[in-house]
Structure formats: structure tokens, C-alpha cells
Amino acid sequence: MGGQQEEEPSVRLFREYLRIRTVHPQPHYDGAIDFLERLSVELDLPCKKIEVCPGRTIVIITWEGTDPKLKSILLNSHTDVVPVFEEHWKHDPFAAVKDQQGNIYGRGAQDMKCVTIQYIEAIRKLKSEGKRFPRTIHLSFIPDEEIGGQTGMATFVKHEEFRALNIGFGLDEGLANPGDAFTVFYGERSVWWVTVRCQGSPGHGSRFITNTAAEKLAFEEQIQKWCQDAGDGVQYEFQQKGMDQQVTSIDKSNPWWQTFSSTCQKLDMTLQCEIFPAATDSRFIRAMGYPAIGFSPMNQTPILLHDHNEFLNERVFLTGIEIYRSLIPALATVSPLEGEA
């Protein structure tokens, strides 16, 4: 591999972002915000900061279209990453080490700092070519996705600033695909996070103590029945209870999907359409009635989100920039839809 000075600038930027420790439980969000503000200056695009919860700020970078009355394109990514167990990593998870094969190791390499930089670098190239598109493009950078999104996107979608974005279609994160295909997600599972509080007598588990919390917490068919059967002093509450089953149409009659899929086809990409096995901020976007697709352009890559030794190969990363370089113009030039003309 060549020296650092010979490295592709977009790869160098990706590695710089990976070194910002936006890791729970105390993400360094100020570092990420400063980084994103600097990039907005480089791109000569306006940047807006919106504090949706105390200490939780959303950053929006906007590239206005030639017809800003048309519905906009939202390119969404989150800034936070999950914790690490450093003893299981072969490299420092926040050093963004690149090995001889071009694999870049770091927490967030796949989930999802790669996509953030791919969006930005695709737009940098398009702007440098003097391109303009009818539809406005918004890049949103969201905190706290990894802890459920309640202090991030879930609050933001109810904010007047979100409605003002005038969104027509959104892109958000997906997953890597170990094969040649690229995985695309048009919906996701409903999240239920439940807190059960069970009171009982304390003491070591080896002692035969009556009325312990563990003794009272039985396993039955339904949570409510569990708590009823457990006895007095057992309550439960939902931290999250996702009931919305909105999915984005992947029928050719949907102009957004038709544009997305046909652009990928022109790039000789095979798409594998699935329901996301967990949940992302896309669920909040879809719940507001906006179509959204989960997509991270990573094929021939093991799925390592939240795993030890998370990495992304620089070749795959650079290819992803070129994919967005085709997708973004295509989506931003979708003809006016009913009600937009």
C-alpha cells in the first residue's frame, strides 16, 4: 500500500471521521458536528443545526435544487456508534487502521460512517462538475440512532424544521452483503423494548430466600400475563413500542423505486430486496408517510455491524461513492409527481 500522502482523499476523510469517538454511552457529538460543519464549508453548502433534545443536535446540509418547490431528496445517516470490547479487536477500534489488503478497521466503518462520507464525496464530485438538479437534496446527520432514536430522529420528525424539508423520498442505512448482490431494505421489523420492574427480597442466589424478584418473574405467553401471574409489585412499561407497519413500495409504479432500481440496473448491480432484520431511523421517516429505502453500497463484504473487528475495504468504499454519484442525480431529477407541477 502507498503512504498516507498518496491515499485517496475521500478514504483519508473516511478514516478521519472514524477516529471521532461518537461511541455510547458518551458520544463525542461536538467533534462530529465540528467535522460536518467543516465539510459544509468545503462544499460551499449551508449548514443548519437543530437541537431536538438537550445535548442532541441534528445537522442538516442542503444543496438547493433549481426548482425548490418540488419535493426534496433526504440522504440520512446517524453519527453515533455502538460500544466496543477492545480486547476482541485486532486493531484500536478508533484508530481507523488500514491493513495491506485495504481493509479499514473501525467502529462505524459499516454502521454507518462510510455512508455519510460516501454521500458527501459524491456531492463534492457532482458540484465540482458544475451539476445542478431540479430537486433539493438534504443531508441529515442524526444522533442517538443506536439507542433507539427517541432523542434523535423520533423527535425530529415531529419538529417544524423536519416538515420544512419538504421530503419526497429518503435514503438511509442498509447492511453489507457477503455476495455480489447489494441488499436493499423497503421496510423493517417493529421494535418493542420493554422494561419490567420486579420487586422482591434481596440476597445471594444460593440462599433459599422467599419472595425474590427472580422467583416472581415467570415466563408465560404474554408480557401482561407474565406480570399478572408474578404477583404484586411487578410492573412493565414499553421504552419503545413500534406498531407502524409502513413499507415502501418496490413496485415499478412507484417512481422513486423505479428510478432507484433502474439506475442500479444501469450500473450492472444486482439488488436483493428484504425487510430489515432490526430497525433504523427509516421507520420514523416511513411512519410520517414518506417513502424510504435502506441501502449501504457494500457487497462482497461480511456483515459486521456491532461486531468485533468491524471493517470496510477501501475499494468497496470508493465504489460506493460512484454508486451514489449516479443515484443522487437520478433521484434529484425525478419528474414532477402528481400535486407537484
Q: Has 232 been annotated as catalytic? A: no
Mean pLDDT on 137-151: 96
Length of the chain: 341
Tell me what pLDDT residue 231 has: 80
Class of the CATH domain delimited by 4-191+243-332: alpha beta
**CA 46 to the chain's CA centroid:** 22
Among 337, 244, 246, 340, smallest CA distance to 291 is for 246
Distance, CA of 260 to CA of 250 (rounded, Å): 10
Determine if residue 130 is left, alpha or beta; phi over 0 gives left, psi from -120 to 50 gives alpha, anything else beta. left
- Read off the pLDDT of residues 42-72 as tens digits, 9 standing for 90 and up: 999 999 999 999 999 999 999 999 999 999 9
Model pLDDT, residue 208: 52
Does position 28 have pLDDT exceeding 70, yes or no?
Answer: yes
Ranges of each domain in the chain:
4-191+243-332, 192-239
Provide the phi-psi class of 24: left if phi over 0, else alpha when psi is between -120 and 50, else beta.
beta
The three three-digit cell numbers of residue 315, written as one number: 475499494
Q: What is the pLDDT of residue 242?
A: 61
pLDDT for the residue numbered 4: 47
Residues 249-258 pLDDT 10s: 999 999 999 9
Non-local (6+) Cβ contacts of 65 within 8 A are 72, 132, 133, 134, 135, 136, 137, 332
Contact at 8 Å (CB) between 174 and 78?
no
Cell of 162: 423536519
> What pLDDT sits at residue 275?
93
Phi-psi region of 78 (alpha: psi -120 to 50; beta: other; left: phi over 0): beta
Asked if the bond preceding 178 is cis, omega within 30° of 0, the reply is no
Contact of 16 with 109, CB cutoff 8 Å: no
Is 203 or 66 the better-scoring residue by pLDDT? 66
Residues 164-201: pLDDT tens digits? 999 999 999 999 999 999 999 999 877 666 676 666 66
Whole-model pTM: value is 0.87
- pLDDT cut 90: percent of the chain above it: 79
268 catalytic per annotation: no
281-327 pLDDT per residue, tens: 999 999 999 999 999 999 999 999 999 999 999 999 999 999 999 99
Question: Which of 144, 145, 172, 188 is flagged as catalytic?
Answer: 145
